[in-house]
Amino acid sequence: MARVLTPRVEDFPRWYQDVVSKAELADNGPVRGTMVIRPTGYAIWERMQAELDERIKAAGAQNAYFPLFIPEAYLRREAEHVEGFSPELAVVTHGGGKQLAEPVVVRPTSETVIGEFMAKWVSSYRDLPLLLNQWANVVRWELRPRVFLRTSEFLWQEGHTAHASEADARAYARKIHYEVYWDFMVNVLGIPVVVGLKTARERFAGASATYALEGMMGDGKALQLGTSHELGQNFARAFDITYSGKSGALEHAWTTSWGVSTRMLGGLIMCHGDDSGLRVPPRLAPVQAYVMVVKAGEGVADAATALCDQLRRAGIRTALDDRVDTPFGRRAVDAELKGHPVRIEVGPRDLATGNAVIVRRISGGKTPTPIDGVVETVAAALEADQHVLHDEALALREARTVDVATVEEAIEVAAAGWARVPWSAVGAEGEAKANTQAVTVRCLTREDGSMPSSEEEPDLVAYLAKAY
């Protein structure tokens, strides 16, 4: 059989595109830089949404929705913000057959429009904290698009909050970062992320601090999987988000924003995928158990259907493939490509011996299993293989992260992995030098891996890498 995918070691970018296409995750849209997310890809995104939404609500935020179109004047009220986004803006100048009196920006992010309404809704310290989240699309005109990783339109959630003090805002931004993002990425996506502070050069336009979660992909490059921002009082001053404090004095609020996007789908592919296609972590998978009728035979379809029912009753997300008019080999390859964690094959020969064959996509192997033991075996396999994916990704990161002493050494290491170097040996000058070689400071951490309060702290560690 001809190979289905380009091997990763041969051409990693081509392999990635092959997986996106052959696993039926997405297609390029009709406008350059846009994408069509196919049902298989969207089902994964829906599971991401569900897991994150539960955590976001547990952190106290409520969902809302704000307009796609934003008056251009709103963006200009926070100078650093508009400067940072200017190259990526899509601007509407005509509507209804007429030139608009004021250009309208297609939402690149919502700090400005939400800031306008926070100013309207907040008047007293009793109105704080105001904790909002929205699930939406955004548009950032992308010059070098790549499906899921960089597209001109993508899907995401963006949280925006207002607080009575800087300490409260900082605590909440970090709460989201650890209790929502870190927990989801490590325990559901199975991606062992490094959590750290962005440098002044890399932080979000208009923010006073940006926290990032960085994951290592299969080729050793970094991918920023999510960010949280302390916005200080910058947007509160620009949009007059003020409140009457307990003393009666009028004060500016402290705000935050935070978000993750469909970029996580790209990260999922590149972190866990192999030469047979996607490998979806069991806790995330829309289909955890894929029951396949190998070929028609007396009682086979009924047995497969009964297995599906038992698995679903046990809380396992299950799908049935009984398309016996399609060759089994083709269906099996398709299931491998889409990364269903467990396949259960049921055929006449298996049924004659009272067995089904359990095939584990992540750890490999085919095991004949008594029908009455399938549910228990599948449940154990799903839990075990969730940890297998995480541990494999962690082992790769540890093997390809090298401690070095200089920027020059870091640039050399970044050809194949990550460099860990004292921030004092890098600084702004070294960061600029690394950037000329397409190597960036991904984040700063303390020596123990914890989050620093500022890049001025002593003894910080910088992670340098090439990135998507």
- The CATH code of the domain that includes 418 is 3.30.110.30
The answer to whether the pTM exceeds 0.95 is yes
What per-residue confidence (pLDDT) applies to 80?
A: 83
List 219's β-bridge partners, or say none.
none
Place of tokens 């997300």: 317
Domain that holds residue 331: 289-389
As a whole number, the mean pLDDT across the chain is 97
Q: Is pLDDT above 80 for 410? A: yes
**Measured distance CA(209)–CA(429) in Å, rounded:** 20
Residue 447 covered by a domain: yes
> CA-CA distance, 160 to 135, in Å (whole number)?
12
What is the signed CA dihedral for 365, 375, 333, 337, rounded to 10 degrees? -100
In a domain, 283, yes or no: no
Residue 313 CA from chain centroid, whole number: 30
Residues 263, 294, single domain; the answer is no
- Report the C-alpha gap between 213 and 107 in whole angstroms: 24
How confident is the model over 134-181, as pLDDT tens digits?
999 999 999 899 999 999 999 999 999 999 999 999 999 999 999 999
Residues 225 and 303 occupy one common structural domain: no
The count of structural domains within the chain is 3
Report the largest interatomic distance among the alpha carbons of the chain, rounded to a whole angstrom.
81
> Which residues face 369 on adjacent strands?
356
What pLDDT digit, counting tens, does each position of 426-465 carry? 999 999 999 999 999 999 999 999 999 999 999 999 999 9
Instruction: Give domain status of residue 5, yes or no.
Output: no
Distance CA 248, CA 290 (A): 62
Per-residue confidence (pLDDT) for residue 2, from 0 to 100: 57
Same domain, 190 and 247: yes
For residues 21 and 153, state if they share a domain.
yes
In the structure encoding, which two tokens stand for residue 349, read together? 């020969």
250 within domain boundaries: yes
pLDDT tens digits for 80-133?
887 888 889 999 999 999 999 999 999 999 999 999 999 999 999 999 999 999
Q: Same domain for 166 and 202?
A: yes
Same domain, 61 and 137: yes
Q: Note whether 268 and 169 are same-domain residues.
A: yes
Instruction: For residue 424, tell me if it sits in a domain.
Output: yes
281 token code pair: 């972590």
Amino acid 347: pLDDT: 96
